[in-house]
Structure 1
Amino acid sequence: MIPAQFDYVRPDTLAEACQTLAADDDAKVLAGGQSLLPLLRLRLAYPSTLVDVGRLAELKGVHDRGDHVFIGAMATHDEVVRSGVVRAECPLIALTATQVADPAIRHRGTFGGSLAHADPAGDLPAVALALECVFVARSERGEREIPAAEFFVDYLESSLRQGEILVGVKVPKLGQGWGFHYEKFHRTAQSWAIVGVAAAVKRSNGSIAEARIGLTNMAPTPLRAGATEHALQGVELGDQVRQACDEAAADTSPPTDLHAQQDYRRHLARVLTHRAVRTAAGSP
């Protein structure tokens, strides 16, 4: 299909991009375009202006900043996967990014664009929750930091305000003792996750000292599996881990659609959480 008519602007600076967005309430940011362009073609989005931020250097790159890694919003998934800093300091992100769609999309799609799209079936939002990332947004009003727990507010809706651009994401370095895994169930290699589980597990003296678990496609927004996280504290690997992971679907509201029924998604959440936690904890 052919998109509705819109104006196109390609600013040279971040300040110019912010000015353009502030002047037009119906403007949309265009990054890699892998999420927005299909919506335009299907006429599910009707922006008056597309603000192409593809040439803005302020949004690019991966930077080691001591206690955290800063991933620019315009870094592509492929750049994130190949980044030595990300692989060393944020292995869960590197692992998950390899499972985003297919190579063609990973070369065009952007890290920030995927998160700002706020699709609960996307792989990276659950990871951002599990790692307790912080989103950095910029507008004419200045810069604002948004914890991941406050960023996703509804289906395809983030807490970015009108006129704000996602500049990048701060990923805290968790240090020694942590293990990570992303477990995803999907019909084909290129499709959205029917259910996905991002797990970060810290072991101490043979037991689980802390667990952070993000759930993909189990509600209108990504979720933390709080009941399972609490139940895993101090647990040794074994039957108690499985019992704790059986709580993963608690307080979730997964969709029923052409791909899966609600009860099947809850079953998958329990099974995949157990797999992800065991792998993250280093258990065979």
Structure 2
Amino acid sequence: MKPARFDYVRAETLAEAHAVLAESGGEARVLAGGQSLMPMLSMRLARPNILVDIMRIPGLAEIAVEGGVLRVGARITQAQLLAWPDLSTRLPLLAAALPWVGHAQTRSSGTVCGSVAHADPSAEIPLALLALGGEVELSSRKTRRRVAAQDFFVGTMSTARRDDELIEAVRFPLKTPGDGFAFREVGRRHGDFAIVSVAVLVRGDTVRVAIGGVADRPQARDFRTLDGAALADALDQFAWSLEARDDLHATARYRRDLVRSFGRDVIEEARRCRG
């Protein structure tokens, strides 16, 4: 299929992008890497009146450490973040998750913020942002705000972004001494959508387990240090709370079993990796 007709605006400034979004009445979509949006346009799953291309706007192509946070601008591709020299030491969870995002070809164009904006429940970057307790920076002609990842993802490909807002950056909290991280994923093939993905952060006596690919959005649960039967019971309750359903990729039972088994294994891996 071919996309429905739309107007195209290549914004040269943030103010220009904000103005188009404010005047479009919710009929505009922001274009960055386009790896998710362009197929949706071609299949007419998205029918915007206007596309606002932000890939020429200065100031959106920065990776910067601000205090204990890594700020990733809206023009940064997944490949650029994966190539950041300090990624494995300062954000080991992202270093483990990013190679699972699509393929090298799509990572070279797909943006980090674009994946967050698309909010696919199987996507690895939103899952990592949630697991780390990150934030999304949003701006419009009138306001600027930050939204915690746990509040930003509200449903399948649905977020708390307002029609007149765009994502300027996402903020990933950096590793602190003693933290442990691990990530694991099951898909039909490497690079396919995740059937189940698990990201774990161990900090102090708290274990955060984040699950993707099961519910309508990534979900996280914090546990106090658990072992043995108590850990198995906690993971079982978490698995049932996700309300998995059968689909063409896997049964609900299989997904729940993966949450239980993967959850336990990834927690143990994260504990071993503390430092």
TM-score of the two chains, using structure 2 as the length reference = 0.94
For the aligned residues, what is the CA RMSD? 1.6
Q: Deviation at 1:88?
A: 2.4
Tell me, what secondary structure is at the counterpart of 1:246? helix
For residue 225 of structure 2, the aligned residue among 216, 226, 234 is 234
In 2, the alpha carbon distance for the partners of 1:15 and 1:21 equals: 10
Q: How does 1:108-147 map to 2 (within 5 A)?
A: 108-147=109-148
Tell me, what secondary structure is at the counterpart of 2:267? helix
Q: Which residue of structure 2 aligns with residue 15 of structure 1?
A: 15
Q: Deviation at 1:269?
A: 1.1
> What is the one-letter code of the residue matched to 1:147?
A
Tell me, what secondary structure is at the counterpart of 1:168? strand
Tell me, what secondary structure is at the counterpart of 2:266? helix
In 2, the alpha carbon distance for the partners of 1:164 and 1:15 equals: 11
Contact map agreement 1:9 1:52 (CA 8 A) in 2: yes
In 2, the alpha carbon distance for the partners of 1:214 and 1:73 equals: 24
Establish whether residue 81 from structure 1 lines up as the match of residue 82 from structure 2.
yes
Q: Deviations over 1:127-148 (max 9, x none)?
A: 1111010110010012111011
> What is the one-letter code of the residue matched to 1:166?
I
Q: Which residue of structure 2 aligns with residue 277 of structure 1?
A: 267
Q: Which residue of structure 1 aligns with residue 166 of structure 2?
A: 165
Tell me, what secondary structure is at the counterpart of 1:113? helix
Tell me, what secondary structure is at the counterpart of 2:241? coil
Contact map agreement 1:76 1:111 (CA 8 A) in 2: yes
Q: Which residue of structure 1 aligns with residue 107 of structure 2?
A: 106
Q: Which residue of structure 2 aligns with residue 249 of structure 1?
A: 239
Tell me, what secondary structure is at the counterpart of 2:15? helix
Between 1:165-174 and 1:23-32, the stretch displaced more is: 165-174
Q: Deviations over 1:1-21 (max 9, x none)?
A: 111111111011111111111
Contact map agreement 2:207 2:225 (CA 8 A) in 1: no
> What is the one-letter code of the residue matched to 1:61?
E
Establish whether residue 221 from structure 1 lines up as the match of residue 217 from structure 2.
yes
Q: Which residue of structure 2 aligns with residue 176 of structure 1?
A: 177
Q: Deviation at 1:60?
A: 1.4
In 1, the alpha carbon distance for the partners of 2:260 and 2:129 equals: 20
Q: Which residue of structure 1 aligns with residue 206 of structure 2?
A: 210
Tell me, what secondary structure is at the counterpart of 2:146? strand
> What is the one-letter code of the residue matched to 2:225?
G
Which structure 1 segments of 5+ residues have no match?
A: 204-208
> What is the one-letter code of the residue matched to 2:3?
P
Tell me, what secondary structure is at the counterpart of 1:149? helix
In 1, the alpha carbon distance for the partners of 2:62 and 2:198 equals: 27
Establish whether residue 65 from structure 1 lines up as the match of residue 56 from structure 2.
no
Contact map agreement 1:183 1:275 (CA 8 A) in 2: no
In 2, the alpha carbon distance for the partners of 1:82 and 1:179 equals: 22
In 2, the alpha carbon distance for the partners of 1:3 and 1:184 equals: 33
Q: Deviation at 1:243?
A: 4.8
Q: Deviation at 1:190?
A: 2.0
In 1, the alpha carbon distance for the partners of 2:178 and 2:257 equals: 29
Q: Deviation at 1:202?
A: 2.7
Establish whether residue 262 from structure 1 lines up as the match of residue 252 from structure 2.
yes
Percent of aligned pairs with the same amino acid: 35
The count of aligned residue pairs is 272
> What is the one-letter code of the residue matched to 1:234?
T
In 1, the alpha carbon distance for the partners of 2:9 and 2:245 equals: 37
Q: Deviation at 1:234?
A: 3.3
Tell me, what secondary structure is at the counterpart of 1:263? helix
Q: Which residue of structure 1 aligns with residue 187 of structure 2?
A: 186
In 1, the alpha carbon distance for the partners of 2:246 and 2:61 equals: 37
Contact map agreement 1:122 1:193 (CA 8 A) in 2: yes
Q: Which residue of structure 1 aligns with residue 202 of structure 2?
A: 201
Which structure 2 segments of 5+ residues have no match?
A: none
Q: Deviation at 1:241?
A: 4.2
